[in-house]
Amino acid sequence: MRFKWILLTGVFVLLLYGCLGPVNGLPTVSLISPYDGQEVAVLASDKAVTLKSTATDPEGRSLTFDVYMGTSSTNLSKIATVNEPEYTVNNLTPGQTYYWKVIVSDGISSVESPIWSFTVGGNHSLVKVLDFTTGSATVGATVDILQNSNVVISTTTDEDGHAEFYLPDGRYDIKITGEGKATSVVQNYDPGILETIETLSRRAMTDYNVVPDVTVELFTPEGTPITDPEATTLTFDSVQVKVTSSELMYVMYIGLDYVPSAVARDISAFNTEEYTATISLSRFDGVTVPMHVVVYTVNDTRVDKIVYLTIDRTPPEVTERIAPTGLWYAGWTSDADVEYYSLPSPIKQILEEKLPKEMIKELKGYKPEHNIPETNIFVQLAWTHAPSTNRAGYNIYRSTDGENWEKVAFTTSYYRFDKGFDLEPGKKYYYTVRTVYVDGTESENSNVVEVIPLDLFKVKLISPADNQTNVSRTPTFRWKPVNWIDQTSEPHIGGEFIDDEEIYFIYEGSPWIYDTTLSEQHIFYGSMILTFGPQEVILPFDPISDSDWVRILPDESQIQQTEPLEKFKTYEWGLDCAVAYYESDDGYWISSTIDLGYYWDRWTNEADYYNRFTTGDN
């Protein structure tokens, strides 16, 4: 009887299995990243986070993933159904904590993951990268944000040379690299203190692209070591700073509360592996400021090591704060080849001793790479000193709207350069200066100046045309300024703010007529030619009635040219100086495209080309 019941039970199970099929195994699901409670760095461009999970199904069935997310663990909404175990969500809110989970289905059964959370970084971080301090942006450089040598997030610089992030609280290193570029590193960057950081990414000068190990030590004015500067409140008017590098520092700059450079620094040193100097703290009180120690190797590998100093002195009482007066500007735009050799003479000597002659030759011909190709832009500012009582120096500020000010640099002098970081032709900028006092306070603004950088232009030589023959012995020279990008169109170098007629185009000592046979006997026009706006210039070569035509003799003496050009002879002609000049009540701006020793440009600015022509019988 017992066997009969067992047999009937078996038959029932077989019938049930045949009707319903095998029992379905449940899928499994786990969340991977962001891990629970993680603070996540994101790019400012998309503010995106990729949610990753993993799942398996016992029967190997295809799975679908329902992704849920919200700002509360008790109120999650489905944001996507996907066939892969990851999903990218965009446009998240910086500083916001999000909760998420995944429900996995094999088409028969569903399984829900635990709920995890992550927080989007809340510190806006803008990394600005240049190639040279007088140019604009370095485009396409790789910017890695690192913590403990691990890459947290990475991107490439945009057309403005910017890399923009939202980062969690903490300290980071920034590493900038690119093809043919020397490595540039910012160490100990805190986005909660420094929202914007300026840095350079220069061309590698050698194959020795080793990042130096830079050590910064601080001492009291009496020489006692300050063992943990960032954990120490400094009560002194000055401290000693000792910088040691594992590689030769061909140049070292220190800047308090700004990134130093050749035109703005508190301390500089050259050709050394160790340097100690005293730096004044007298313009700070009751604040934490970043001290930038910037080191370049001979390769132009760069380290900007940041040390945050908390300063709380007992300064003398300041009862009067007076703004500087008479602020004015002088600005330059130039397409001169600013050579690598525009360095202090000790650096030239180092390089000439250490590098092969072939590399020296290459370096001398090196042209800085800019986002605005071949362009150098900078502004010189000057003002009248405020009274010296309790004065520590001056802070220089720049603005794009005249209301929100960004500090450019500090100086104890009555002038300073803005090295051109992010300056663009045709845009309007505002500058002001404030007196800084020994208690860390500032005066009101000085007068505010408006600055509009001029763009570049080129010169088109029209006639005599290149390789033209049977040219008159008294030719008429014609040339005109043209757009530097599209040389078939006129230049409008003042942008939307300056009318063409307000800009003077100046040609000095031009044109030159080069005698291709007698290399030391040339002819030039000795008067300055000036046009209002970018007009074509028509200048007859009429030495009989125009006494401004001058001949240079082999002994470099000059006489008046009184004869026509020689018959059937080949000459070359071009301009020796072509600049544009704009002046306002606040200062002036010069745009130079040619300057062979006339000193409108700050550098020698070679002509792009010359036209060759041959005279005829008449």
Task: Encode pLDDT of 187-200 as tens digits.
Answer: 999 999 999 999 98
Lowest mean pLDDT among 179-183, 274-278, 440-444, 587-591: 179-183
Whether the per-residue pLDDT at 3 is higher than 70: the answer is no
pLDDT for 132: 65
pLDDT for 361: 52
Cα-to-chain-centroid distance, residue 470: 51
Checking DSSP bridges between strand 406-411 and strand 97-105, what pairing results, if any? unpaired
Write the pLDDT tens digit of every residue in 311-326. 999 999 999 999 999 9
**Cβ-Cβ contacts under 8 Å for 443 (sequence gap 6 or more):** 321, 322, 323, 324, 386, 434, 435, 437
Write the pLDDT tens digit of every residue in 208-266. 899 999 999 999 999 999 999 999 999 999 999 999 999 999 999 999 999 988 778 89
Rg from Cα positions in the chain:
34
Q: What angle do CA 539, 333, 330 make, to 5 degrees?
A: 100
Whether the per-residue pLDDT at 17 is higher than 80: the answer is no
**Cβ-Cβ contacts under 8 Å for 332 (sequence gap 6 or more):** 376, 377, 378, 589, 590, 591, 592, 601, 602
Whether the per-residue pLDDT at 278 is higher than 50: the answer is yes
Pair 289, 308: CB distance under 8 Å: yes
Pair 221, 193: CB distance under 8 Å: no
pLDDT for 366: 41
pLDDT for 1: 47
Pair 581, 587: CB distance under 8 Å: no
Distance from C-alpha of 197 to C-alpha of 422, rounded to nearest angstrom: 12
CA quadruple 530, 531, 533, 539: dihedral sign? negative
| CB atoms inside a 10 Å sphere around CB 371 | 21
Checking DSSP bridges between strand 587-595 and strand 86-89, what pairing results, if any? unpaired
Q: pTM of the entire structure?
A: 0.79
3-class DSSP state for residue 332?
strand
Average pLDDT of the residues of the chain = 89
DSSP state of 85: S
pLDDT for 263: 75
**Cβ-Cβ contacts under 8 Å for 512 (sequence gap 6 or more):** 522, 523, 524, 573, 574, 575, 576
Whether the per-residue pLDDT at 337 is higher than 80: the answer is no
pLDDT for 21: 54
pLDDT for 424: 85
Task: Report which secondary-structure segment, H or E, holds 86.
Answer: strand 86-89
**Cβ-Cβ contacts under 8 Å for 434 (sequence gap 6 or more):** 323, 324, 394, 395, 397, 442, 443, 444, 445, 446
Write the pLDDT tens digit of every residue in 481-540. 999 988 899 999 999 999 999 999 999 999 999 988 766 679 999 999 999 999 999 999
Q: What is the mean pLDDT of residues 166-189?
A: 96
On the question of a cis peptide bond just before residue 464, with omega within 30 degrees of 0, the verdict is yes
Pair 256, 289: CB distance under 8 Å: yes
**DSSP letter for each residue of 205-248:** SSS--PPP-EEEEEE-TT--EES-GGGSEE-SSEEEEEEEEEEE
User: Which residue would you say has higher pLDDT here, 352 or 109?
Assistant: 109
Distance from C-alpha of 601 to C-alpha of 63, rounded to nearest angstrom: 69
DSSP state of 108: S
Lowest mean pLDDT among 108-112, 356-360, 423-427, 571-575: 356-360
pLDDT for 615: 95
pLDDT for 6: 46
Distance from C-alpha of 93 to C-alpha of 69, rounded to nearest angstrom: 13
- Separation in Å, CA 512 to CA 507, 525, 565: 11, 7, 13
pLDDT for 434: 98
Residue 331: name the closest of 531, 604, 606, 586 by CA.
Answer: 586
Q: What is the mean pLDDT of residues 83-102?
A: 97
Whether the per-residue pLDDT at 360 is higher than 60: the answer is no
Whether the per-residue pLDDT at 108 is higher than 60: the answer is yes
Task: Report which secondary-structure segment, H or E, holds 363.
Answer: helix 357-364
Cα-to-chain-centroid distance, residue 435: 27
3-class DSSP state for residue 87?
strand
Per-residue burial over 374-402, b = 16 or more CB atoms within 10 Å of its CB, e = otherwise? bbbbbbbbbbeebeeebbbbbbbbbeeee
> Is residue 556 very low, low, confident or very high in pLDDT (cuts 50, 70, 90)?
confident
pLDDT for 370: 35
Task: Report which secondary-structure segment, H or E, holds 173.
Answer: strand 172-177
**DSSP letter for each residue of 466-524:** TTEEEE-SSPEEEEEEE-SS-TTS---TTTTTS-GGGSEEEE-S--EEEESSSTT-EEE
With a pLDDT cut of 70, the percent of the chain lying above it is 88
> Is residue 18 very low, low, confident or very high in pLDDT (cuts 50, 70, 90)?
very low
- Separation in Å, CA 64 to CA 58, 85, 281, 359, 364: 15, 8, 62, 60, 62
3-class DSSP state for residue 359?
helix
Distance from C-alpha of 618 to C-alpha of 525, rounded to nearest angstrom: 21
Checking DSSP bridges between strand 287-296 and strand 302-311, what pairing results, if any? antiparallel
Looking up tokens 């008046």, which residue turns up? 560
